Each structure stands twice: as C-alpha cells, then as structure tokens.
Amino acid sequence: MSQREHPAASSRHGDGHGPGGTGEQGPHHPQAPRPRYGRYAGLLAVLILVLITINTIVTKPNGSTGIEPGQPLAPFAVPLAVGNLNGAADVATAAGQGAAGRVPACKERGAQILNICQLYEQGPVVLALFVDAGSCPAVLTDLQALAPSFPGVRFAAVAIKGDRAKLRRLVASRRLSLPVGIDSDGRLVALYRVASCPQVTFAYPGGVVQSRALLARPSYATLRARVSELAAASRARGWKAPLR
C-alpha cells in the first residue's frame, strides 16, 4: 500500500487574499477549544465493540437452539489450545472451498488437532462450545469429572475466540485431559447455532445429534443424566462401550 499524504498536510497557508482577490482579510475568529478527552475516543470505541461482541456471543438470545436432533454435526477441525499449531477452523466439506478450508475438515488429522469427525468415529460425543469468560468455563470441570464414568464417550470442548495463553492456563489449572480446541475466528458460532454459553451438544457415534443441546450451564446431576441417556441410546443403536 502506498503511503498517501494527508490533505491537511499538503494544503498551503492563506496568503491574505480572499476569494475575490482584493487582499482584504476576513474577520479574526478565535481558535475553538480542543476537546479535553478526544484522545480517549478511539479506546472507548474499541471497548464498546468488545462489549457488543461478548454480549452477542454469550448472552443475546437469537432464536438458536443448537443443531436439531437427527441432523449431522457440522464437520470442523481446530488447533488444540495446548499445542503450537496455528490457524483458523477448517469447516470445509469438500476440497478447495476457499476461506472454509482447502481440504475437507474431516481429513485434518494430527496430534495437535481437535477433529469432530475423528471423535464421532470413535464413539458418542459430548461437545461443549464456550467463551473463556465468567463462569462459562466451569462446565469443563464437570465434563472432566464425568468422563471416567462413561468409557468410550468422547468429551471435548472448543473455545470461541479465546486467548491462547489464557486457555493454556485454564487447561492446566483445571487439570483437564479432555481435548480443548480454539476457534480463533468464531466460525463455529453460526455452524452450531450458538445461543448461550456454554452450549453442550450430544451426538451418536457417526455424528448425528441425539438430543437438544443444553443452552446454559447445567447442574452436574442434569449433565450426568444427559450423558447417561446418550450412552444408553447409543448402545440401543448398536454401539458397544469398551470394558473398563
């Protein structure tokens, strides 16, 4: 980008001649006082934008209820928060889809990648989408506590537009072993119809949504009951949980 000179910098000072070229000077006007807080205007605008974004993602109802039961999970692959891999979420369903992804999301595999397709190929899935703010991340502790009671069920979480360093500290402080990914651009908000924080989705092996998503942090008892229902419904469809 070429640097453009600001118009104010290139204008010449007046030479005393008015529009008619008579040489008469106009009346003198005192300089208007400069706003005292002008330098803070830019900072205030940024702060307001951040607050609007958080309100939209976390609290503002938009009619969404998550992906409907019986519908497939939207494929995605995101970097793990604790890894060193960078990049936006791959949400492509075919090769060469531009910003969505150059390769299909389901084919993105690796030790530093959280791939929803890989999870539902292995068993039932409990997926929490969250914003790392307030009490929202507390659901991760509940999922971590439930995981040993449900062998074969795949628990995972993805932070929407989270700060990576802060997420790493969150994983360490809560001693999380379940995979936590980061959706740096917030692409999953629309795909998963996120309406609250957290949003917990339950899916059968194969990636079909089993029941309506939980749209706020549930009690531990409610969360346990929903995971138990998912496991039982998956067994009824032929899934065999591994032996403990």
- Per-residue tens of pLDDT for the chain, all 244 residues: 333 333 333 333 334 333 333 343 444 444 444 444 444 444 443 343 343 344 444 444 445 789 999 999 999 999 999 999 999 999 999 999 999 999 999 999 999 999 999 999 999 999 999 999 999 999 999 999 999 999 999 999 999 998 999 999 999 999 999 999 999 999 999 999 998 899 999 999 999 999 999 998 899 999 999 999 999 999 999 999 888 7
Angle at 122 between CA 118 and CA 125, to 5 degrees: 80
Q: Rounded CA gap, 158 and 192, in Å?
A: 12
Of the candidates 105, 100, 166, the residue with the CA atom closest to the CA atom of residue 131: 166
Calpha distance 158→50 (Å, rounded):
20
pTM of the model as a whole = 0.75
Q: Which residues pair with 130 in a beta bridge?
A: 159
Distance CA(175)–CA(91), nearest Å, equals 29
- Superfamily of domain 62-236, CATH level 4: Glutaredoxin (3.40.30.10)
Q: What is the DSSP string of 160-215?
A: ES--HHHHHHHHHHTT--S-EEEETT-THHHHTT--SSSEEEEE-TTSBEEEEEE-
